[in-house]
Amino acid sequence: MRRDVLYTILALAVLALAVIPVGVAVFVLGFVYGDSPCVMCWEQRIGMALVALVGLFVLRYGPKPKYLGMAVLVAIWGVFMGIRHTGMHAARDVGQGFSAEILGAHTYTWALFIYWVSVATMGVLLLMTKKEDIEDQPRTLRPLEWLAGVVFLVVIAGNIVQAFASTGPPPFMGQSDPVRFSFNPTHWVWSLEEWSRAPISLRGRWSIDKPDVAAVPSEPGAGPLADLPVLSVKTQSKLTLPLAGTPTDLAYDPATSQFLVTTQQGIYLADETLGKVNRYTVIDVGFAVDLGQFGGAAFLDKGALIAVGENKSYVVLEPNDKTDADANFRYFLESFDKFNEVSRSRFGTVRARMMYAMSAAYDPATKSVYTVTVPNNKVKRLVISRFGPDLTLSEEFLPTIAAESGLKLTGKRTLDEFYVTGTAIVDGRMYAISAAYNTLLTIDLHARAVVAAHAIPGLVRPTGIALKGEDLYIVGESGALWVVARPPN
């Protein structure tokens, strides 16, 4: 009696899998509404058909380990494909997605759920299966089990028809964005686009090189802008501050007459001579939000400051001499009693996605934080992102070259070659130092255009820039400090 119950449950599961996801997909969504699968949808649908097929083998030959093991492996592959397909669209805005929506969820999301249910069902059946249930001889199928087999064959036949019309025979293999399904051969589109070569990596599109100022060319004359005027270095010295790590950015606050210096994990407030550390802390960058390593920093209003990781995550701190050191133990690795952590989160971007940023600057006029991307092995774009008072993305743009600047690009080169590692903002203008070609770009934030550019020979791997009075302070990876005069407007 118990054995019959097991086979009844399995037959119903095979029927449900064949009829609901696979059958509805081909006969209702496909033949009625003209919805065609993309290549990943086909992967998910084929996997469901294979799980159902293994179920039919179990109904006929019993729950042999090789059948159950195969079903589990196919379902695991389906879960992976469901996660991959869903992950491509899950981060879109509310209601957005790909293909048909059923009960508020798109079809690829349902595929993930169905595979999860399949794995859970197989787990239950395995727990209920005993040694005596494994039979040596084929079983005689009952009517319900025959029905499951017939329905499976009908559904597979329908999918063969749809696959031939929408995908075509080999070597055709479908489209990433499929055309509308039709029984009319004149509307069929057989494509070879998915055979095009693509870079293969275990991390997919996330295999992006981390920023490295040592790898970029530094000669100003080799840059994309020709015949740049030169800014001469007024003074050159070396930071003597006791820093844990190498400098990654620099900022200045005229209200408190303090410099802000960041290292990979450290945040330091120094006096206006950069000779003494007034207070510091070392952040636990892996606590909660992963900050990576700091690439940019800026003073905010009312004495607060922000340190931005290269991955565009950030932490906001405020100096406080009465803070609870024990409560801050979870946030900091050193100096627990000098700052309060106000918030720790991530900047969300659109054009700057899949790109790192090595700079941050604050504009008091708009109460906004700006970041600038650096090119990588996958994406090469100079994207400036602005985050408003709530630190939410307010705008993004790719700066152009102002006509009145007189700047000229050489050949087919672009501004995207610049590698901005430090920025400072005053009076609506951003001063951006590029480690590539040792070039200072002056960007009008209202016009969204580069209005001036200057070469600064002699810099070695600059990583930050700050404006103090009429001078620009530029810090290098080695701790070198250069002072140049601010270019005239």
Q: What is the pLDDT of residues 12-37, one digit of tens each?
A: 989 999 999 999 999 998 999 888 88
What pLDDT score does 341 carry?
Answer: 95
136 versus 43: the higher-pLDDT residue is 43
Query: In terms of residues, how long is the chain?
Result: 489
407 versus 103: the higher-pLDDT residue is 407
* Tokens 């994207």, residue located: 383
309 versus 194: the higher-pLDDT residue is 309
Q: In the predicted model, is pLDDT for residue 332 greater than 90?
A: yes
What pLDDT score does 130 carry?
Answer: 76
> By the 8 A CB rule, do 262 and 308 touch?
no
| Residue type at 100 in one-letter notation | A
- Which residues, in sequence order, are bridge partners of residue 282? 266, 334
Q: What is the pLDDT of residues 459-489, one digit of tens each?
A: 999 999 999 999 999 999 999 999 999 998 7
The pTM for the full model equals 0.80
- pLDDT tier at 365 (50, 70, 90 boundaries)? very high
> By the 8 A CB rule, do 416 and 381 touch?
yes
- pLDDT tier at 216 (50, 70, 90 boundaries)? very high
* Tokens 């203008």, residue located: 429
What pLDDT score does 148 carry?
Answer: 93
**How many CA atoms are closer than 13 Å to the CA of 330, on its beta-carbon side?**
6
Region 195-220 average pLDDT: 78
- pLDDT tier at 95 (50, 70, 90 boundaries)? confident
Region 68-88 average pLDDT: 89
Cα gap 67→64, rounded to integer Å: 6
127 versus 284: the higher-pLDDT residue is 284
353 versus 96: the higher-pLDDT residue is 353
What pLDDT score does 194 carry?
Answer: 76
What pLDDT score does 288 carry?
Answer: 84
**Average pLDDT over the chain, rounded to whole?**
91
Q: In the predicted model, is pLDDT for residue 372 greater than 90?
A: yes
376 versus 136: the higher-pLDDT residue is 376
Phi first, then psi: what are they for 435, rounded to 5°? -65, -30
Region 132-153 average pLDDT: 87
What pLDDT score does 205 carry?
Answer: 64
Region 321-329 average pLDDT: 92
62-71, 125-134, 213-222, 332-341: range with lowest mean pLDDT: 125-134
- pLDDT tier at 153 (50, 70, 90 boundaries)? very high
Structure tokens at 263: 């290292």
Cα gap 354→346, rounded to integer Å: 14
Q: What is the pLDDT of residues 234-278, one digit of tens each?
A: 999 999 999 999 999 999 999 999 999 999 999 999 999 999 999
For residue 381, with 0-12 CB atoms within 10 Å meaning exposed, 13-18 middle and 19 or more buried, which class applies? Answer: middle
What pLDDT score does 206 carry?
Answer: 66
- Which residues, in sequence order, are bridge partners of residue 259? 252, 270
What pLDDT score does 375 carry?
Answer: 96
3-state secondary structure the chain: CHHHHHHHHHHHHHHHHHHHHHHHHHHHHHHHCCCCCCHHHHHHHHHHHHHHHHHHHHHHHCCCHHHHHHHHHHHHHHHHHHHHHHHCCCCCCCCCCCCCEECCEEHHHHHHHHHHHHHHHHHHHHHHCCHHHCCCCCCCCCHHHHHHHHHHHHHHHHHHHHHHHHCCCCCCCCCCCCCCCCCCHHHCCCCCHHHCCCCCCCCHHHCCCCCCHHHCCCCHHHCCECCCCECCEEEEEECCCCCCCCCCEEEEECCCCEEEEECCCEEEEEECCCCCEEEEEEECCCCCCCCCCEEEEEECHHHCEEEEECCCEEEEEEECCCCCCCHHHHCEEECCCCEEEEEEEECCCCCCCCCEECCCEEECCCCEEEEEEECCCCCCCCCEEEECCCCCEEEEECCEECHHHCCCECCCCCHHHCCEEEEEEECCEEEEEECHHHEEEEEECCCCEEEEEEECCCCCCEEEEEEECCEEEEEECCCEEEEEECCCC
Region 69-76 average pLDDT: 90
Q: What is the pLDDT of residues 264-319, one digit of tens each?
A: 999 999 999 999 999 999 999 988 899 999 999 999 998 899 999 999 999 999 99
Q: In the predicted model, is pLDDT for residue 389 greater than 80?
A: yes
Domains in the chain (CATH in brackets) are 2-170 (no CATH), 213-485 (2.120.10)
Region 415-443 average pLDDT: 97
- pLDDT tier at 1 (50, 70, 90 boundaries)? low
- pLDDT tier at 402 (50, 70, 90 boundaries)? very high
